[in-house]
Every structure is written in C-alpha cells, then in structure tokens.
Amino acid sequence: MAKIAFIGAGSLGFTRGLVRDLLTFPTMRDATIALMDIDRERLDFANRAVQTIVDRGGYPAKVVPTLDRKAALKGADFAVCTILAGGVQVWRHDIEIPKQYGVDINIGDTRGVAGIFRALRTIPVMVSICKDMERLCPDALLLNYTNPMAMLCRAMQRASRIQLTGLCHSVQGTAGMLAKWLGAPMSEITYVCAGINHQSWYIQYRRNGKDVIPELRRKVATDKKIYREELVRNEMFLNLGYYVTESSGHNSEYNWWFRKRPDLIRKYCPDHKGAGWNPGEYAYIVKHYLAREKSWKKETKEWFAKGAPIKLERGHEYAAAIMHAVLSGEAFEFNGNVPNTGIVTNLPPDVCVEVPVVANRRGLNAIHVGALPPQCAALNNVNIASEEMAVEAALSGDPDLVFQSVAIDPLTAAVLSLGEIRKMVGQMLRKNRTHLPQFKSVEL
C-alpha cells in the first residue's frame, strides 16, 4: 500500500490531475494520498477535489490533508513537490527590476537573472524538504515540478542523498508538436532528447527508424504556417540544426539572439495569430498570476459548484507512470532531470541534465547519451556555467557569486555592461533581503 505525499498540494489543477491518473494504476488504487500545503484554504480545496475523485471512482485510497510537512512525508514512498516559495508579489520583482535596466523577460522561472533569484529563494526550502525526507522516508523517490528545475534539482542533488528527479512536460510536448507537423502518429516516432531543462535537443528524431530531421527542416523552412507557430525555436532549428524543447517565448530568454533589442522582440516574439502558447510577451506569467490573484478563489468555488467536473480516465501526468514503474517493475522511460554521471559527455560532470531515464523497481536509471552537437552543447554550457555559480551562491550565501552568475547569463550579458549588471543585481539582492536567510550580507 503505497503512500504518496504531495508537498504544495494547493496547486489544485496539478494535484487533481495527478491523483486522477495514479488511481488508475492497480498498484496505487489503495494508496494513502497525503496532501500538504502551507495555505489552509488551498489545502482544503485540494482535499475536497481529491476526495471527490476517490469517491467517484470508488477507490480504496485514503486521503490525508495536513499542514504539517513532516506528517505528510513520514513513511512516504513518493513525494511530489509543486511548491512556490514566495507569492507573485515577491517574484514580480524578478521580472520588473531587470526591465528597468532594459532586460526584457518573458517568463523568468528557469534561469537568467529572474530564474536565479527564484532559485536563491527556493533552494533553502527544497533542501529542507530533502533533509526531512532523509529522516522520515529515506528510500522515497522525490518527483519535483517546482522551477527553476535545473538549479533546484542540482542543489538538492548536491546537498542530499535522496533519490530525486525533476519532471517537465516540454520534452513530450515538443516531440508531439513535431510529429503533428510531420503528419506522423507518435507511435511511429522515436527520439533521443538531451540537454538541460527547457533547453534539451532532439539529437535523434526518427519515424519508423528513419531520420526525419532533414524532412522537418524542409517543412519549417518552407511552410509559413508551421514556421510562424514557433518563431524563435524555428529560427534556432534552421540555424543550429536541432530542435529545442520548451516554448519560443521561454527560449528567447536563454540565449543572446532574440530579446536584446526591442526590434528583435517585435520581430521574433509577436503574439500573432497562429503562434504557439507562448511566443514571448514581456512578463507573460507575472501578468497571468496578477490577474488570477483575484479570480482564482472564485473560479475554484465555481468549479466545485458545477459538481467538480473531472473525468476519471487516465490523463498525461507521467509522474503516475513513474510511480507505477517503481511499484510494479514495468519499465517506463521518460526524460528526467538527473546528475550528469557521464551521460552527456560534453556537458560538465555532476550538473543537472535532462536525459532519458528508465524507471523500474530499482528506481531511476539514467541512459547513456554521448556527445551533443557542439553548437547545442555550447549553448547549454553557457547556461550551466551561470546556474552552477547561482547554485553555489544559494548554498553558500555569496553575493559576489550571484553577480557573477548573472553577469554571464546570455540575455543579461547581451544587454548590459558589468557595471550595469552589478547595479541591477545589487538592487535585486536588497529587494529580496528578507527572503535570503542564507546570506550574511547582500552587499556587493
């Protein structure tokens, strides 16, 4: 009888989706589902939604809501993490302060100056969850969904011996989009995708065993509709030769080429008809959160009032499949964020890479990939260098390293001088002062 702890269970949409999926597996229909959040109201909503699913499905599962993280983790087989350390009023500054300096950010949850500050605030919390797990459920598997994925996973992998991986939908999502463009059912597609979170490369993409990357290049180069669906990523593909994960907006943040000048943003990141979900608008998610701040409660109540409309069929939350693989031994492959134990040979050792992983009863098994194409590795490596300094800064509380980490972030480096970066980072450190207990001083 498995126990699954949801830390940050108040992420209602995610929690109810994953619970729905995991209950469909015979290994978990009788699971204990511990829901934990620090927000009583959100926790209550989550509890009601999850209990509704259990009742409706007639599952023998048990739902246990709690405000006590330790109680949730105790004896767990799996922990799922979807926390947010600091609300939108805290992290809006990650995007708004850089904007004052001319650094125009779209999402800001992954890397770059905004992602780095999010990491500085979140890493201490993540490490404390791991430390709890070492005592309360040392053999449990931690599945993390909180961003910035690569830096958080790396920090935990450095600071704890808990087995963990970070999960992100963008690998499957992009693979599916490419298949759609090719008019191919996914069942005919195989691929190798490797790199770092939100910047992984499809270094192999085959249809019925045949390399279709050349065909994809022709499509993207000649089909205007397809080209315009992902302006940034398609430009990257045509120029670098390999397709990258995550939306165009996200990718416009992780290099020097698309957001450093207003004319380039207008050209490559317009919210035009036919664009994908995130072409690259300034502060896209901050705006969304600020809007939702007022409406979410009402919407949630309405959802319950409508009878909590959720189907019980299995959806796409592959965390459920991972758990089932561990419990049943039925191998399940996915792309996860794990330490680079020689998996990708031209990225540094030990850093957090996103690579094929097989889950089975032994847990997580990373699959050897080899070398990335040099132009792809080069881009990953710049971001890794920045993130490694940020993680070290977050663990050690060194403000100079925060600055140096930001100084080589591609977007920041393409816009500002060292002096300007120092000033911007100084302002952000001071603004975040109360959220950075691990720093003795935030003076640069």
Residues in contact with its own copies by CB under 8 A are 139, 187, 190, 192, 204, 206, 209, 235-236, 239-241, 255-258, 260, 264, 267-268, 329, 331-333, 341-343, 345-346, 348, 356, 358, 360-362, 365-368, 370, 374-375, 377-379, 381-382, 385-386, 388-389, 392, 400-401, 403-404, 407-408, 410, 413-414, 416-419, 421-422
Q: Using alpha carbons, list the distances in angstroms from residue 375 to 86, 317, 324.
A: 36, 32, 37
Answer for the pair 263, 256: CB distance below 8 angstroms, yes or no.
Answer: no
Q: Which is nearer to its own copies, 181 or 332 (CB)?
A: 332
Q: Which is nearer to its own copies, 365 or 441 (CB)?
A: 365
Q: Which among 324, 292, 300 has a CA at the least distance from the CA of 52?
A: 300
Nearer to its own copies, 24 or 346 (CB): 346
Say how far apart CA 429 and CA 117 lie, in whole Å. Answer: 8
Q: How far is the CB of 396 from its own copies (least distance, A)?
A: 12
Catalytic residue annotation = 169
Name which of 181 and 257 has its Cβ closer to its own copies. 257
Report angle CA 218, 221, 225 to the nearest 5 degrees. Answer: 110
Least Cβ distance, residue 227 to its own copies (angstroms): 13
For 106, the 3-state DSSP assignment is coil
Tell me which amino acid residue 135 is.
Answer: R
User: In the complex, what is the shortest distance from the CB of residue 222 to its own copies, in angstroms, rounded to a whole number?
Assistant: 17
- Exposure string of 194-233, with b = 16+ CB inside 10 Å and e = fewer, is bbbbbbbbbbebebeeeebbeebbebbeeeeebbbbbbbb
Looking at the DSSP bridge assignments, the partners of residue 443 are none
Would you say 135 or 368 has its CB closer to its own copies? Answer: 368
What is the smallest separation between the CB atom of 102 and its own copies, expressed in angstroms? 10
